[in-house]
């Protein structure tokens, strides 16, 4: 049965909706039947479409994302036991088996830098960025970060798989979203179009990394089938402005994540960071950027104040 509003919807949007369901419910058992229903596809077709679009089976994708989530939580100070349970593993034994099968060692012996040096796509990953392997820069006293609450939003999404390996695909996705938004009379400059990496290139193979370009939708407007729809929860964001070339943008992210955030005492929320384009790239040239780096954080304890 085809649900109302799904006729003509492209497979990319349906699979994106299923993936969003997986990641929003990490502790929920994953079944082919449930995800096929979310995507409005038969189980037979869902399995094949999923593999065709993502390059891996549903089982491999779910296991990999659970493991990456667990590693991310462990890097924030959680024990492996807590991190594995929060990532949806039924037991410590199943987690340890999956971890060793993917990373070659038990969780207790995992060394991120060793894994980076031995990863199959290391050359490509290093060509993209060595951000995660560099030490934290000294916190610049002139580095300004503002905490901004943002409301919930419904978003049109243009998604690219493997965009770090194919920058032209990223530019094309951005241009498709901008062209459609302007046809609808939506304001695209001023930080309304944002980009967000859905995966951590430090852990996810570059060919599997997802990058989304997004714009908030007004009530009553639905995007065409070539775009997915996502929800952004209301919450607090740490925001810094950067203007310059890619080196300046990279420095701002490094300062924000590695220096300012640990010193702030704030915790990250489980949502992707965003780059918001104040001036649109093709308006000022793709060699220079004017954007905000936005990081989702939890509200500070009462009594704490930040500039």
Does residue 159 have a pLDDT over 70? Answer: yes
Contact 147, 238 (CB under 8 A): yes
Output the 3-class SS for 276-297: EEEECHHHHCCCCEEEEEEEEE
Are both 53 and 185 inside the same structural domain? no
The verdict on residue 303 lying in a domain is no
7-11, 45-49, 68-72, 146-150: which range is least confident on average?
Answer: 7-11
CB neighbours of residue 4 within 10 Å: 6
What is the reported pTM? Answer: 0.71
Q: Kindly write down the DSSP assignment for every residue of 43-99, as one continuous string.
A: HHHHHHHHHHHHSS-HHHHHHHHHHHHHHHHHHTT--HHHHHHHTT-S-HHHHHHHH
For the residues 21-37, what does the mean pLDDT come to? 84
Q: Which helix (H) or strand (E) holds 260?
A: none
Residues 26 and 155 in one domain: no
Residues 124 and 150 in one domain: no
Residue 109 lies in a domain: yes
Residue 178 lies in a domain: yes
What is residue 2's predicted lDDT score, i.e. its pLDDT? 30
Neighbours of 195 (CB within 10 A): 23
**DSSP secondary-structure letter at 268?**
B
Confidence of residue 304 (pLDDT cuts 50, 70, 90): low
pLDDT one-digit tens code per residue, 198-255? 887 777 888 888 899 999 999 999 999 889 899 999 999 999 999 999 889 888 988 9
Does position 274 have pLDDT exceeding 90, yes or no? Answer: yes
110 and 158 belong to one structural domain: no
**Among 145, 99, 172, 100, which residue's Cα sits nearest to residue 258?**
145
What is residue 252's three-state secondary structure? helix
Q: Which residue has the higher pLDDT, 182 or 165?
A: 182
Structure tokens that stand for 159 in this block? 């998604």
Flag whether 167 is in a domain: yes
Note down the domain range covering 266: 146-297
pLDDT tens for 226-236 read: 898 999 999 99
Q: Which of 128, 158, 190 is the last residue of a domain?
A: 128
- Domain boundary residue, one of 81, 96, 128: 128
Number of domains in the chain: 2
**Token pair of 117, please?**
């040096």
Alpha carbon distance, N-terminus to C-terminus of the chain: 53
Residue where a domain terminates, one of 128, 156, 191:
128
- The CATH number that applies at residue 89 is 1.10.10.60
**Quick one: average pLDDT of 29-57?**
83
* One domain, residues 104 and 190: no
The Cα–Cα gap between 243 and 228 comes to 30
pLDDT at 155: 96
77-129: per-residue pLDDT in tens?
A: 889 999 999 888 988 899 999 999 888 899 999 987 788 777 777 777 766 65
Sequence-distant (6+) residues with CB within 8 A of 85 are: 27
177, part of any domain: yes
Q: What pLDDT does residue 130 have?
A: 57
* 223, burial (CB in 10 Å: exposed 0-12, middle 13-18, buried 19+): buried
- Considering the domain architecture, whether residues 171 and 269 belong to the same structural domain is answered as yes
Percent of the chain surpassing pLDDT 70: 92
* Shared domain check, 182 and 282: yes
Residues 287 and 152 in one domain: yes
Please tell me the predicted confidence (pLDDT) of residue 6: 42
272 occurs within a structural domain: yes
Clarify whether residues 113 and 160 are in a common domain: no
Report the CATH number at residue 224: 3.20.80.10
How many CA atoms within 13 Å lie on the side-chain side of 274? 25
């Amino acid at each position: 049965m085809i649900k109302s509003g799904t006729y003509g919807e492209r497979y990319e949007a349906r699979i994106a909706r299923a993936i969003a369901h997986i990641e929003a419910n990490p502790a929920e058992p994953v079944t082919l039947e449930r995800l096929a229903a979310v995507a409005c596809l038969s189980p037979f077709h869902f399995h094949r479409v999923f593999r065709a679009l993502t390059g891996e089976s549903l089982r491999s994708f779910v296991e990999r994302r659970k493991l990456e989530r667990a590693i991310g939580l462990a890097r924030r100070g959680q024990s492996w036991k807590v991190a594995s349970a929060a990532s949806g593993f039924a037991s410590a034994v199943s987690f340890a088996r999956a971890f060793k099968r993917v990373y070659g060692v038990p969780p207790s012996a995992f060394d991120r830098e060793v894994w980076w040096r031995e990863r199959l796509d290391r050359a490509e990953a290093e060509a993209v960025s060595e951000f995660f392997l560099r030490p934290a820069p000294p916190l610049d006293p002139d580095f300004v970060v503002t905490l901004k609450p943002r409301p919930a939003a419904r978003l049109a999404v243009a998604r690219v798989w493997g965009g770090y390996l194919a920058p032209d695909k990223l530019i094309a996705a951005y241009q498709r979203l901008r062209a459609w938004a302007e046809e609808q009379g939506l304001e695209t400059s001023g930080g309304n179009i944002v980009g967000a990496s859905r995966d951590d290139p430090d852990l996810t193979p570059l060919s599997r990394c997802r990058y989304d370009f997004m714009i908030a939708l007004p009530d009553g407007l639905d995007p065409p089938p070539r775009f997915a729809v996502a929800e952004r929860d209301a919450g607090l964001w740490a925001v810094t402005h950067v203007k310059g070339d890619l080196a300046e943008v990279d420095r701002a992210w490094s300062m924000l994540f590695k220096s300012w955030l640990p010193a702030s005492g704030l915790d990250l929320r489980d949502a992707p960071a965003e780059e918001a384009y104040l001036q649109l790239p093709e308006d000022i040239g793709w060699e220079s950027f004017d954007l905000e780096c936005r990081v989702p954080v939890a509200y500070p304890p009462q009594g704490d104040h930040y500039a």
